[in-house]
Amino acid sequence: MNGLLAGLSRINRALERIMPLITPTAILIGVLLDSRLHSFEHWVPWIFAVMTLIGSLKTSFGDLLRVLTHPSKLIVLMVILHVVMPLIGWGAGSLFFPDDPYLITGYVLLFAIPTGVVSVVWVTIYSGNLALTLALILIDTLLSPLLVPATLHVLMGASVPIETWSMMKGLLLMVVLPSLIGMLLNQWTRGRVNRTWGPPLAPLVKVGLFIVVAINGSTIANDLKHADAKLAAVILVTLATVVLGYLIGWGISAWRRWSLEDSIAVQFNSGMRNLSAGAVLAIQYFPAAVSLPVISGMLFQQLLAATFGYRIGRSKRKAEAAEAEGRRGEE
C-alpha cells in the first residue's frame, strides 16, 4: 500500500511539472477526436464534481476562520475577482466585438466564474499564503451560484437570455456541494483524510482536468478547425485581459506593501479562473460562441501561471539574497 501511495505521489509531481502543457494538449485532442468525445459531454459535470471534492479535502473550517478574522486581503481579492475583472471583460468585449453580444457575454463569464482550484498548486509551489488561497476558493465557490448569474444580469441585462435557475442549480451540484462535502470530511477526520488520501487522489484531478478540457474542446472543434481572423482576435483579447488580472494583483499587493507570501497568493488568484467550470456553464446554458473566450483562456492559463511563477521565483530569490546580505552586514 505504501508503495502504491508513493508511486501515485511521484505521478502527481510529474504531472505538476507538465501542468502548462496539460490544457493546450487536451484542447488539441478534443479537436482531433471531436466526433468521438462530443457524445461524452453529459459526463463533464460529474467528473468536475469529483475533481472539486478531491481539491476541497485540503480545506477546513479553521483555515476559513483564520482568514475571516483578518478579512482585508480576502475582500480586496473578491473586489478584483467580481467587480474589477468582470468590468474589464465587459469593456474589452464591447470595445473589440461591439456587434457580438455572445462574445461579450463570454468575456463577462470568463471573469465572473470563481477563482481556479488549480491556483492551490501554484501557490504551494512558490510558498504563497495557502490559507488565504483556500479560504478564497471556498468562499468564492460557495457564493458562485449567486455571483455568476448576478454579474451576467448586471452587465449583460436582456442582451442575452440567461438560464439563471438552471445555472445556479448546476453550480450547486457541480461546485458547492462537493466543496462542502470535502471540507466536512477534512473537519470530521481532523485533516487525516487529506493527509492520507490527498496525495494519491491528486493525480486524478489533473487527469480529470485533461478529460474535461478535451470534451469541452470537442464542442467547439468546428470553430477551432476553421479559425479565422475573428478567432485570432478573441484569443489575443483573452490573453491581454487575463494578463491584466495578474498585473492588477501584483500592483495592488505592491501598493499595499503586503508580504511576499500574501503577494504570491493575490497574484495567482487574481489571474486564474476555474475555466473548466466556466466552459461547462458556457456550453450547457449558452450558444457556442459564448464559450470561445473561456476555452481560449484554457490555451494559456497554465502557461501564464508558469511565466508569472518564474518572475515570482526570481523576485523571491533576490529578496532572500538581500536578506542574507543584510544579516552578514549586521554580523
| Mean of pLDDT over the chain | 81
pLDDT of 112 above 70: yes
Which has more confidence, 243 or 196? 243
Q: What mean pLDDT is predicted for residues 239-258? A: 93
Counting Cβ atoms within 10 Å, is residue 104 exposed (0-12), middle (13-18) or buried (19+)? buried
Measured CA to CA, the distance from residue 173 to residue 48 in angstroms comes to 10
**What pLDDT score does 323 carry?**
65
**What pLDDT score does 191 carry?**
80
Q: What mean pLDDT is predicted for residues 204-218? A: 80
pLDDT band at 6 (very low <50, low <70, confident <90, very high): low
**Buried-state track 216-241, b at ≥16 Cβ within 10 A, e below 16:** bbbbbbebbeeeeeeeeebbebbbeb
pLDDT of 219 above 80: no
**What pLDDT score does 252 carry?**
94
Q: pTM of the full predicted structure?
A: 0.76
pLDDT of 165 above 60: yes
pLDDT of 328 above 70: no
Name residue 231's amino acid: L
**What pLDDT score does 4 carry?**
64
Measured CA to CA, the distance from residue 8 to residue 325 in angstroms comes to 40
**What pLDDT score does 318 carry?**
74
Lowest mean pLDDT among 49-53, 149-153, 230-234: 49-53
How confident is the model over 8-31, as pLDDT tens digits? Answer: 777 777 777 777 777 778 878 888
* Distant-in-sequence, close-in-space partners of 24: CB < 8 Å, separation ≥ 6: 298, 299, 300, 302, 303
Measured CA to CA, the distance from residue 303 to residue 284 in angstroms comes to 27
pLDDT of 224 above 60: yes
**What pLDDT score does 161 carry?**
62
**What pLDDT score does 329 carry?**
60
How confident is the model over 193-202, as pLDDT tens digits? Answer: 887 777 778 7
Q: Alpha helix (H) ranges present in 33-84? A: 34-37, 44-55, 61-68, 72-79
Measured CA to CA, the distance from residue 158 to residue 115 in angstroms comes to 26
pLDDT band at 209 (very low <50, low <70, confident <90, very high): confident
Which has more confidence, 167 or 245? 245
Among 34-38, 49-53, 108-112, 301-305, name the most confident range: 108-112
**CATH class of this structure's domain 23-314:** mainly alpha
**What pLDDT score does 22 carry?**
77
What percent of the chain shows pLDDT beyond 90? Answer: 20
